[in-house]
Amino acid sequence: MKNYTFDSKSNLWHKPGFDGIDYSDGQEIEQRLLDIMTEASDCSVLSEELQAQITDWPTEYHLSRLRHCLLRPLGIQAGDSVLELGCGCGALTRYLGETGADVVSVEGGSQRARITAERCKDLDNVHVVLDNLVSFATEKRFDWVLLIGVLEYAPLFAGTENPVQSYLESASSFLVKDGKLVIAIENQLGLKYFNGCGEDHCGIPYFGINDLYTDKTPVTYGKNELERIVRNAGLDALDFYYPYPDYKLPNTVIHSSAFEEESVQVSDLLLRSQSRDYSGNNYRLFTEQFVSNVLERNNILQDFSNSFLLVAAKKQTSLPSVINDFVWFYSCGSRCTPACMQTIFTRDRDGCIQVNKKRMDEAIDGEVVFDETLHLSQKCGSELFHSGRMLIGKILKGLMVAKSNEEVGELFLPWFHHVIKYASPLEGSDSSKLVNWYISGDCIDAVPFNCIRSDEGQFVFFDQEWSLEKNIPLGWLLLRGIVWSLCTPIIGLLARHGMHPRSDTTLQAIMEHICKQSDLVLDESDIALWRTEELRIQKLITGAEDVRIPLQFKTPQNVFTRVAMLEEKIRRLEEGRVENTLLVRVKKRIFRYLSFFSSKRA
């Protein structure tokens, strides 16, 4: 590369005299990342070795398999030329290299550039350059130029009167005639910010939506404003994707055309996606998934996406004229590599919607059997998508107001009464006992979050990814349906971090109520048996030994309701003239609930 010198020791290209910019995650953190990359034998995007090194937020951000999922929908392929401006520690660089593209990645932080180079040391098609983004120069032009999590930092590093515009004009100058600029950035009006989450860069709640940005801070934009800024840089053709929960760790990516599909309820597809507050605050004011449904009905859900993934070009003809694929799900964050799966919604030639499943590791060909005795197998292939609403949405809404185990059990009854139609008792057994009922192993994934109530009112199962060769106990399926419905991010995250329950919800009590309403008898020892079976397959899928199947759950509460309960407890204690450690603890808890409104989180 002209004007740059190659350092074979660090595998870096650098400009003589340039030592790097003042941007870092911290010397200790970056040295740890460099050591991890140096010692790793597998640095691929699906590396279980790197996944095992995740112990905190910095390592999760740089090592999580979910990072690269942001770029998978774009279709970057072998032979494409790619310029990545601001590659960080190489999470996306590694993916770009694995596509077979010819990649030039520029990073201003010297230690970060070294980490990227070490991560891609076995990829001859990746060239890492240590240089400031605004001074980087090359005569080469590229099919793709990437600004992933970079544009928002322009005010800190550009040194021009209009820093964001300078970044965009500089980046687009490296494009070939029909090239595409890719921008990933947080949405200033992201729904999570209205829900009390700290602004991603400074950690202060309501900082962005109050528009408190200055020329000394990173800056983000709403959708319309971002469109205007990009168009002003001479890029008139725009194509929006919406990564959820955000562009940092996306498990779902929605293309803008999905919102035009009458048969697809986008908000239903987000029910199992939970926003993260990277400042450490885990309190919420409302349930974003339910608000998303209201936003979708009013055609403004896109405007409140927490992040944007924008593909921009100078001419419309440079963008794909038809987007057949429009929704992407990635199941890889907690799975062993063979089990990592991508699920893609696509339109076929007849205009019907197909749900396609294929492994993320393309080197794995054919059926994978995870256990010879169980014969647990994973299905790839295509199936027709059915229009309707997902049953799990109705169940989760009901959980928000359920006051007893019996009311929770009632929410699962319609589903259970449907699946029992496909089950039968063992011949000659006592049919009044649930333990004697069995169902096909192909139905192991016939759980509420894979169930749609069609427009005609019928239950239809989809995304039946897992199957067993032998029949399975119906009680095991009942346990699976309850556990993984109540372990969704809506319930789990909020309950773990302050949205405490009105009453504890137990697996046994729910199952007992369902059985009672179905004229079946349940024995506690049977639950233990089915729980053991579920643990067994979860260990096979995740590759982990510390998998837990909970027996007790907590349904979430609005933070203000929780504060009101605590204030009532204080009133009762004070009326009894009890100024003791319990009263002090209650007061401290109220302060903790309210403090996130104004306090800055590190």
Asked whether residue 541 is domain-assigned, the answer is: yes
Asked whether residue 363 is domain-assigned, the answer is: no
Same domain, 454 and 478: yes
What is the Rg, in whole angstroms, of the alpha carbon atoms belonging to the chain? 26
Q: Can you name the residues that pair with 472 across neighbouring β-strands?
A: 439
Position of tokens 């970079």?
150
Same domain, 465 and 443: yes
Asked whether residue 143 is domain-assigned, the answer is: no
Per-residue model confidence (pLDDT) at position 601: 42
Position of tokens 């279980």?
48
Same domain, 410 and 453: yes
Same domain, 407 and 511: yes
Domain that holds residue 457: 389-485+501-554
Lay out the sheet containing 459-461: strands in order across.
Answer: 388-390, 451-454, 459-461
Distance linking the first and last C-alpha atoms of the chain: 40
Per-residue model confidence (pLDDT) at position 503: 47
Asked whether residue 264 is domain-assigned, the answer is: no
Same domain, 541 and 479: yes
Question: Any alpha helices (H) in 99-251, and if so which ranges?
Answer: 110-119, 154-157, 163-172, 191-194, 223-232
Question: Do 395 and 510 touch, CB atoms closer than 8 A?
Answer: no
* Among 442, 508, 500, CA closest to 478: 508
Q: Residue 408: in which H helix or E strand, if any?
A: helix 405-419
Pairing of the two strands 504-506 and 552-554? antiparallel
Low-confidence ranges of the chain (pLDDT < 70): 322, 488-504, 553-566, 576-602
Same domain, 398 and 538: yes
Q: Can you name the residues that pair with 127 across neighbouring β-strands?
A: 104
Per-residue model confidence (pLDDT) at position 343: 95
Q: Residue 176: in which H helix or E strand, if any?
A: strand 175-186
Q: Can you name the residues that pair with 474 across neighbouring β-strands?
A: none
Asked whether residue 403 is domain-assigned, the answer is: yes
Same domain, 427 and 574: no
Same domain, 394 and 517: yes
Per-residue model confidence (pLDDT) at position 567: 73
Question: Do 452 and 355 touch, CB atoms closer than 8 A?
Answer: no
Question: Do 130 and 20 touch, CB atoms closer than 8 A?
Answer: yes
Per-residue model confidence (pLDDT) at position 593: 59
Per-residue model confidence (pLDDT) at position 491: 46
The amino acid sitting at 249 is L
Number of Cα atoms under 13 Å in the Cβ half of residue 177: 1
Position of tokens 């089990």?
339
Asked whether residue 182 is domain-assigned, the answer is: no
Phi/psi region, residue 11 (left: phi>0; alpha: psi -120 to 50; beta: rest), is: left
Same domain, 550 and 563: no
CA dist 482 and 531 (Å) reads 12
Same domain, 445 and 473: yes
Asked whether residue 420 is domain-assigned, the answer is: yes
Asked whether residue 580 is domain-assigned, the answer is: yes
DSSP secondary structure string for all residues of 63-94:
H-GGGGGGTGGG---TT-EEEEE--TTSHHHH
Per-residue model confidence (pLDDT) at position 272: 82
Same domain, 524 and 581: no
Domains identified in the chain, total number: 2
Per-residue model confidence (pLDDT) at position 550: 72
* Among 475, 382, 373, CA closest to 434: 475
Position of tokens 């799900």?
329
CA dist 281 and 495 (Å) reads 13
pLDDT tens, 511-543? 999 999 999 999 989 999 999 999 999 999 988
CA dist 64 and 88 (Å) reads 14
Q: What is the CA 142 to chain-centroid distance, rounded?
A: 30
Instruction: Give the whole-number percent of the chain exceeding pLDDT 90.
Output: 65
Position of tokens 């964001």?
164
Same domain, 433 and 505: yes
